[in-house]
Amino acid sequence: MESYHTASDRGGILRLHDTRAQELGPWLDLVAVRGEGVVQFWLKPGEAAVTLGAGEEREVERIPEQLRRFLR
């Protein structure tokens, strides 16, 4: 039986093929600059539909508390 890599990084290009979420661990901290992708979900009968979005927006304090006093 032949095996293949479901996720591979070659020359700065991440290629995914039939990749499951648990196989993406090594690449979770990467930022995509450009590209395109097709995401396909395989659901069992009765499972809720999946939607993709930008995620939950929240305000983040980027300046640590101990450095804020220097800005005054």
**Rg of the chain (C-alpha set):** 19
Structure tokens at 9: 């990084």
Banded pLDDT at 2 (limits 50, 70, 90): low
Asked if the model's pLDDT at residue 4 lies above 70, the reply is no
Q: Could you read off the pLDDT of 7-45 as tens digits, one per residue?
A: 777 777 778 888 887 888 877 777 777 777 777 778 889
- Cβ-based neighbours of 24, under 8 Å, separated by 6 or more: 7
